[in-house]
Amino acid sequence: MSINDVGMLFSFIGGLGMFLYGMNIMADGLQKSAGGKMQKLMGFLTKNRLMAILVGAGVTAIIQSSSATTVMVVGFVNAGMLELAQAVGVIMGANIGTTITAWIVSMSEWGSVMKPEFFAPLLLGIGAFLVLFTKSEKKKKIGEILVGFSILFIGLSFMSDAIKPYREAPIFAQAFAVLGRNPVLAVLAGAVVTAIIQSSSASVGILQTLALNGVVNWQSAVFITLGQNIGTCVTALISSAGAGKNAKRASVIHLLFNVIGAVVFGIIMFILFRFNAAWGAAAINSVEISVFHTIFNVLNTLMLIPFANKLVKLSTYIIRDDKEAEIAEITPAGEMRRHLDERILENPAFAMDTVMGEVNVMGQSALENLKAALEGVETGNKELIRSVFDKEKIINEMEKVLTSFLVRVDNLSLTEGQHKVVKNLFYTISDLERVGDHAENIAELAENMRKDEISFSKKGFKDLKLISSETILALESALKARELSSTQDAIQEADYERNVDKLEDELREKHIQRLSKGKCEPESGVVFLDLISNLERIADHATNIAGYVVSESRKPLPALDEE
């Protein structure tokens, strides 16, 4: 091998690296631009199978990877967010969405003006300028998309230029002739290459680069493409290794879908090439690869839609349930850990949406514990008071689970706005944990009242009920503001919190006066003051939570009370 050959090899490897890196940057920018839109797509999955297919295609077109989409689906199934029947539609759609990359790569042959060599450097310059010198988050996202798009095409150009001097070399003709004559070997080659680089989009792009230089024939290209569709299943299969039974079944459905399609269309194309050998031996270009890739995936989906339930049933035969039923964690913290499946980190928007939902779950747990603690004060119910202590342990566990997951979310490719929300979620779960602590304090006071037979007067209970009601309304408004990102509910919370502050001052002063006049037992007076102090602090934490929501809307943040 001469120094020139080594240089060409380096150019090809460098071009491949730029192609993969550019695809990653472009997908990142597209994903950031999509933002909350991708979160809303999940809501459509419950509609019908056709909608699930469209969602799968749309998400894959945005993130430029059917493997990543399928890994997410495995995560959703494992977390119980998707049924297997719904997952089938998304997986089918993912195969259609992945054809977008092939069409982007084939732009080189659309015409001289569309050649990436012509406009990619300009787009790279514009994109870099937007990323480096603009402050607008929206413009930075556009810049990332342009940079990724340009690097992708420059990488393709590098690969193509490295191959050009060798397009007349006998090795290419011989290799593709062998693959064309042996469909099984061609399918295997496509599957192995795709499994190694973990991206069917990238492997199809490499095949198209070879086709651009006229070294690939129809017969070998068709069977290699079918193999690439099988190879892309490896990522999801690996991902499902530590998951539950249904998650494993989702990855098996993906494999079954692609293998059945490859076998059926492989037989059809083999017969067609037998009848028209000249067509099979003719050179194929990148546009024709895109056309076949798209037709195959669309027809395969149409063919197997009626048998979707059969695929689900077949997957249950392959991945059988254990003889002894799996025992799932039944605590809210255990359920939360299941929902926050690491596979959903493949898509930052979905990860954000899921973790927001789990923060709301923690908030409702803290609210329920507060109500239970206050009822314990009123009734002295021993079991109810004990349940508050048990739930507080769960709330503490929730804080650990959420904090750990949020750390990982914060390290994903997020927009500036999403990073701010993640930071506020860190603060929110800390505030919710403190609400839980105060509810536990109230339960401890209730237990002391029961043991020491301490009671309040009718007036005392009436006053306590009044401030308790306002505190609960404040926390409910804050949680609703967080759940709906509603500044209106955040403003409403501020009104309730002011009422709590006012009541706490008034009740404290009145109670101290009653104590000084001997109208109230000192023991009950101390407990009463501790109770209203805990309630006032809970309202402060509610104001903190509402304040984070207001800060995200970029409106003036209301003044927060110090605890």
Every domain of the chain and the residues it spans: 3-318, 333-552
Which whole number is the average pLDDT over 341-350?
Answer: 72
Q: Hey, what are 172's tokens?
A: 């290419």
Of 217, 221, 205, 255, residue with least CA distance to 99: 205
**Class for domain 333-552, per CATH?**
mainly alpha
Place of tokens 């930075």: 140
Is the pLDDT reported for residue 554 higher than 90?
no
Please give the model's pTM, rounded to 2 decimal places.
Answer: 0.64
Which pLDDT value is given to residue 167? 55
Looking up tokens 């270009």 gives 285
Separation of alpha carbons 13 and 18, rounded Å: 9
- At 136, the pLDDT band (50, 70, 90 cuts) reads confident
Rounded to the nearest integer, the mean pLDDT of the chain is 80
Q: By C-alpha distance, which of 317, 314, 203 is closest to 260?
A: 314
- Indicate if the pLDDT at residue 379 is higher than 80: yes
Residue 298's closest CA among 259, 251, 261, 254? Answer: 261
Using 50, 70 and 90 to split pLDDT, how confident is the model at 423? Answer: very high
Q: Would you state the structure tokens that stand for residue 418, as one six-digit string?
A: 């999403």
Q: CA 45, CA 347: separation in Å to the nearest integer?
A: 16
Amino acid in the structure at residue 412: L
pLDDT in tens, 318-340: 887 654 344 444 456 666 776 77
**What does the pLDDT look like over 50-104, one tens digit per residue?**
788 888 887 777 666 676 677 777 777 776 667 777 788 888 888 888 888 778 7
Q: Give dist(CA 232, CA 254) in Å, integer.
A: 9
**Cα–Cα distance, 13 to 158 (Å, whole number):** 9
Cα 304 from Cα 311, distance rounded (Å): 9
Strand blocks (E) in 15-55: none
Residue 283: strand pairing partners: 217
List of residues 6+ apart from 234 with CB closer than 8 A:
194, 195, 198
pLDDT over threshold 70, residue 156:
no
3-state secondary structure of 217: strand
The Cα–Cα gap between 491 and 547 comes to 9
* CA gap 229, 261 in Å, rounded: 9
- Average pLDDT on 279-298 reads 88
CA separation for the pair 405, 353 (Å, rounded)? 13
Q: CA 30, CA 489: separation in Å to the nearest integer? A: 32
Distance in angstroms between the alpha carbons of the first and the last residue of the chain: 74
Q: How many CB atoms lie within 10 A of CB 80?
A: 15
pLDDT computed for residue 59 by the predictor: 75
Q: Would you say residue 559 has pLDDT above 50?
A: no
Listing DSSP states for 498-530 in one string gives HHHHHHHHHHHHHHHHHHHTT-S-HHHHHHHHH
Residue 555 CB coordination number (10 Å): 12
The pLDDT assigned to 558 comes to: 46
